Amino acid sequence: MSDFMVEELKEVREQDLEQVLPVLYQLSPQKEEDKNVSQDELRKILAKIISDDNYFMYVLEVEGNIVGIGSLLIQLNLSHGGKPYGHIENVVVDNLNRKNGTGKKIVAKLIEKAKEKGCYKIVLACEANNIPFYEKSGLNETGEVEMRLDF
């Protein structure tokens, strides 16, 4: 990325939806069920995300184009002195903008927000080939196993 390019890392806005979806679908390819959800319904969902005090979605724009996305969900907690913890989700950088620090900037922002919210830890699930990327951002593989049940 050139030093002359205008870059902004910020919370997502409702008007960003049209640029967010193509980037997001690079992480999770669009399925038939996604095609059945109207743009109006997606706007409503994004509005709920934006208004949720425990959900933070950031976008990185370069020259007005969204090139990366990442989300942080804050999980309230009764243990650990009542401190919450964060879940990092849906970190994705546009295919044409990878390997230049974009993803690392997004993850750093999510970590900063988790600290600001008083989280005692952050967790995430990722493919094994993405472990080195997250380790460079300070996260550690714990040996825990992600389990999942799809509906």
Average pLDDT for consecutive 10-residue bins of the chain (151 residues)? 77 96 89 86 96 98 95 97 97 91 96 98 93 94 86 86
d(CA 130, CA 32): 27
Q: What is the pLDDT of residue 10?
A: 97
Q: How many domains does the chain have?
A: 1
- Joined together, the tokens standing for residue 113 give 């927000």
Q: What is the pLDDT of residue 36?
A: 86
Is 21 inside a domain boundary?
Answer: yes
Is 146 inside a domain boundary?
Answer: no
Is 148 inside a domain boundary?
Answer: no
Q: What is the pLDDT of residue 3?
A: 59
Is 108 inside a domain boundary?
Answer: yes
Answer yes or no: are the C-beta atoms of 71 and 107 closer than 8 Å: no
Q: What is the pLDDT of residue 28?
A: 85
Phi and psi torsions of 62, nearest 5°: -125, 120
Domain encompassing residue 106: 7-136
Q: What is the pLDDT of residue 13?
A: 96
3-state secondary structure of 123: strand
Is 142 inside a domain boundary?
Answer: no
Is 104 inside a domain boundary?
Answer: yes
Residues making up the chain, counted from first to last = 151
Residue 9 CB-half CA count within 13 A:
18
d(CA 70, CA 128): 18
Answer yes or no: are the C-beta atoms of 36 and 70 closer than 8 Å: no
Answer yes or no: are the C-beta atoms of 88 and 96 closer than 8 Å: no
- Alpha-carbon torsion, ordered 107, 112, 114, 116, to 10 deg: -170
Is 96 inside a domain boundary?
Answer: yes
- CATH of residue 30's domain is 3.40.630.30
